[in-house]
Structure 1
Amino acid sequence: MTAPPAHEPHGGALGSRLNWLRAAVLGANDGIVSTAGLVVGVAGATGARDALLTAGLSGLLAGSLSMAVGEYVSVSVQRDSETAALATEKQELHESPEAELDELTALLTARGLTPGVAREAAEQLTERDALRAHARVELGIDPDDLTNPWHAAWASFLAFTVGALLPLLAIVLPPASLRLWITVGSVLTALTLTGWWAARLAAAPAPRATLRTVAGGALAMAVTYAAGSLLGVAGV
């Protein structure tokens, strides 16, 4: 058997870290786009700094809390599923250990080991820790590294908040004559970086992914600014 290439992630801990990085990048991207769309839309209707700050802060808090709650709920469901699968596997190991040994042997054979080597490996793994062996080989779960809903919630909250702060500060700090252009420029620059980094983490073509990210953010700002301008003209 040959070793995996150095550039390929291997091991549960590394895969988990990559998942967190992807979640952080996507959370920051959501914070940038949603808050930018909100404050640019308000800027289309009014240039009052107080209104822009209020709208931006409201969007930041609502978005970050929504992301945190959604991530907590979804990851809690995933953890519950993992825990239930481990409990079922533990019961099966207790009730029919020979059948489970045969199953582990078949799984290792399917991965490319010869039947004799697979049987020997299954026996050694079972003797060392049967539940951990089945969890990793059969279920793809690391019992020592189950998903944590609180970690996921805090990561999403912080990532969204960091992303949302950019358009918020860009729209309220500069002079009125420059704030819109500075906001648009800084948002598009940030989206270029997050799009490129997300593509790198996913091993996808960076130019295409970056272009989609930037185009989506630009479209969101254009639509909300147009809507805000129409509402401002209408006196709403």
Structure 2
Amino acid sequence: MTHVDAETAHRGGRSQRMNWLRAGVLGANDGIISTAGLVVGVAAVGVSREPIVVAGIAGLVAGAVSMALGEYVSVSAQRDSERALLAEQQADLARDPEKECAELAAIYRHKGLSGDTAQRVAEELTAHDAYAAHVDAELGIDPDELTNPWHAALASAVAFTVGAVFPLVAILLAPDASLVPVTVVVVIVALVVTGTISAALGGAKRTTAALRLVAGGAAAMAVTWSIGQLLGLATA
């Protein structure tokens, strides 16, 4: 592997890790906001702490399972598509290797290499490992690093659960007279932290990202609290 290839692989691996981290932060945010909205809405009805905790735990479990299932289905579909493309590329190479070599040279000409250089690069890469060269240049896929849907599902479930723990702990530990205010404060702090981390990972403005998340979380809690209040009045 040349120095350039090693550097490209390093960037690709780092990019993949950053994507996983961002996905984890987003899953945690989902757990924070959805669980907070649920427990605040139930608390607004005026019930005791126990039903609120039960509702929060039920929401955590349901949300984590939903996240895991959705991620599993999504990643499985993506991996199936990638495998189909890889099989098609392998069949094309077996059927007409000269045509595939010409296509590879055309790709490198399009990237800025001269005709002679592009042809030489294509031939050398084809001689070394035709399959690897073509799937990298044409598809941008590494056959050895296809995302595992089980890993993705587990990561999503864990991230959601970690986020959901914050409002649940607030409900469990807050005084009876201030369940909702304490939960709101804890949720806002958690969203500021996760929003800052997400912005840092993505290179965005941290203040803007944190404010965006806080606004969304506050809106969700306000809506569910209002609905809980209305239901409480209707059943009083």
Query: Does the TM-score normalized on the shorter chain lie above 0.5?
Result: yes
Deviation track 1:69-106 (CA, whole Å, cap 9, x = no partner) reads 00000000000000000000000000010110011111
CA distance in 1, matches of 2:27, 2:88: 34
CA apart distance, 1:124: 1.4
Determine the structure 1 residue equivalent to 2:73.
73
Between 217-226 and 113-122, the greater mean CA deviation after superposition: 113-122
Q: Describe the superposition over 1:181-228 as per-residue Cα deviations: whole angstroms up to 9, x where unpaired.
A: 221111001111111222222222222222111100000001111111
Q: State how far apart, in whole Å, the 1-side matches of 2:142 and 2:221 are.
A: 43
The 1-side partners of 2:93 and 2:135 are apart by: 11
C-alpha RMSD of matched pairs (Å): 1.8
State the partner residue of 2:202: 202
Equivalence for 1:175: 175
Q: Structure 2 unaligned runs (5+)? A: none
Identical counterparts, % of pairs: 55
Q: Distance in 2 between matches of 1:9 and 1:18?
A: 14
Q: Give the aligned partner of residue 90 of structure 1.
A: 90
Quote how far apart the aligned CAs of 1:9 are. 9.9
CA contact (8 A) 1:39 1:52 kept: yes
Deviation digits for residues 50-81 of structure 1, max 9, x if unmatched?
10111000000000000000000000000000
Find the aligned partners of 2:20 and 2:218 in 1 and give their Cα distance.
26
Gaps of 5+ in 1: none
1:120-131 superposed matches below 5 A:
120-131=120-131
Q: What is the distance in 2 between the residues matched to 1:84 and 1:93?
A: 14
The CA distance in 1 between the partners of 2:195 and 2:24, in whole Å, is 12
**Structure 1 equivalent of residue 107 of structure 2:** 107
Q: Secondary structure at the match of 2:176?
A: coil
Give the TM-score, by structure 2 length.
Answer: 0.93
Q: Give the 3 Å change call, closer, same or farther, for CA 43–214 of structure 1 in structure 2.
A: same
2:22 paired residue number? 22
| Residues in 1 aligned to 2:135 and 2:11: alpha-carbon distance in whole angstroms | 14
Residue range with higher mean Cα deviation, 164-173 or 60-69: 164-173
Q: Alpha carbons of 1:165 and 1:9: their partners in 2 closer, same or farther (altered >3 Å)?
A: farther
More displaced stretch, 112-121 vs 210-219? 112-121
SS in 1 for 2:146: coil
Q: Compute the TM-score of the two structures, normalised by the length of structure 1.
A: 0.93
CA–CA separation in structure 1 for the residues paired with 2:71 and 2:23: 10
* Structure 2 match to 1:156: 156
SS at match of 1:177: helix
**8 Å Cα contact 1:12/1:142 also seen in 2:** no
Distance 2:13 2:100 in 1: 26
